[in-house]
Amino acid sequence: MSLQDRPQTLAGWLDRQQSVHAKNIDLELSRVAAVARRLGVDRPRCPVITVGGTNGKGSVVAHLEAMLRCAGVTTGVFTSPHLVRYNERVRVSSVAVSDEALIAAFDRIEDARRDITLTYFEYSTLAALLVFLEHAVEAVILEVGLGGRLDATNIVDASVAVVASIGFDHRDWLGDTLEDIGREKAGIFRSGRPAVLGSPDMPKSMFSVIESLGAKPIVAERDFVWQVEEKSWSYRGPRWSFDGLPPSALPGAIQYRNAATAIAALEGLEVGWAESSKPNAADTQKNVGLRGLSPTYGPAQFIAAGLRSVELSGRFQIVPGPVEWILDVAHNEPAARVLAEHLRERPCKGRTFAVISVLGDKDIAAIGHVLRPAIDQWILCSLDEPRGLSATELRRRFALPDNQAVTLADSVAVGCERARLLAKPGDRVIACGSFLVVGAALQWLRL
The confidence score (pLDDT) of residue 444 equals 97
The confidence score (pLDDT) of residue 2 equals 60
Closest CA to 271 of 183, 164, 191, 188: 191
Query: What digits encode the pLDDT tens for the residues 109-153?
Result: 999 999 999 999 999 999 999 999 999 999 999 999 988 899 999
Closest CA to 168 of 380, 378, 370, 435: 370
Residue 283 pLDDT > 50: no
Amino acid at 85: R
The confidence score (pLDDT) of residue 273 equals 57
Band (289; pLDDT cuts 50, 70, 90): very low
Residue 272 pLDDT > 60: no
Query: What digits encode the pLDDT tens for the residues 151-198?
Result: 999 999 999 999 999 987 656 667 778 999 999 999 999 999 999 999
Closest CA to 441 of 331, 345, 355, 330: 355
Residue 340 pLDDT > 90: yes
- Of the two residues 295 and 260, the one the predictor is more confident about is 260
With contact defined as beta carbons under 8 Å apart, do 418 and 409 qualify? yes
Angstrom distance (rounded) from CA 59 to CA 26: 26
The confidence score (pLDDT) of residue 421 equals 97
pTM of the predicted model as reported, rounded to 2 decimal places: 0.91
Query: What digits encode the pLDDT tens for the residues 343-393?
Result: 999 999 999 999 999 999 899 999 999 999 999 999 999 999 888 999 999
Of 109-123, 212-226, 261-275, 286-300, the poorest mean pLDDT is in 286-300
With contact defined as beta carbons under 8 Å apart, do 150 and 27 qualify? yes
Closest CA to 47 of 159, 170, 137, 133: 159
Which residues have C-beta within 8 Å of that of residue 203, sequence separation ≥ 6? 166, 178, 179, 181, 182, 183
Burial grade of 222 (CB within 10 A; 0-12, 13-18, 19 or more): exposed
- For residue 406, CA distances in Å to 322, 394, 417, 422 come to 23, 11, 15, 12
With contact defined as beta carbons under 8 Å apart, do 408 and 392 qualify? yes
Q: Per residue, what are the HEC states of the chain?
A: CCHHHCCCCHHHHHHHHHHHCCCCCCCCCHHHHHHHHHHCCCCCCCCEEEEECCCCHHHHHHHHHHHHHHCCCCEEEECCCCCCCHHHHEEECCEECCHHHHHHHHHHHHHHHCCCCCCHHHHHHHHHHHHHHHCCCCEEEEECCCCCCCCHHHHCCCCEEEECCCCCCCHHHHCCCHHHHHHHHHHHCCCCCEEEECCCCCCHHHHHHHHHHCCEEEEECCCEEEEECCCCEEEECCCCEEEEECCCCCCCCHHHHHHHHHHHHHHHHHHHHHHHCCCCHHHHHHCCCCCCCCCCCCHHHHHHHHHHHCCCCCCCEEECCCCEEEEECCCCHHHHHHHHHHHHHCCCCCCEEEEECCCCCCCHHHHHHHHHHHCCEEEEECCCCCCCCCHHHHHHHHCCCCCCEEEEECCHHHHHHHHHHHCCCCCEEEEECCHHHHHHHHHHCCC
The confidence score (pLDDT) of residue 299 equals 86
Amino acid at 349: K
Residue 423 pLDDT > 90: yes
Angstrom distance (rounded) from CA 444 to CA 233: 37
Mean pLDDT of the chain: 91
The confidence score (pLDDT) of residue 291 equals 55
- Of the two residues 126 and 283, the one the predictor is more confident about is 126
Angstrom distance (rounded) from CA 173 to CA 25: 9
Band (404; pLDDT cuts 50, 70, 90): confident
Task: Go through the domains of the chain in sequence order and give each one's CATH number.
Answer: 3-309 (3.40.1190.10), 317-444 (3.90.190.20)
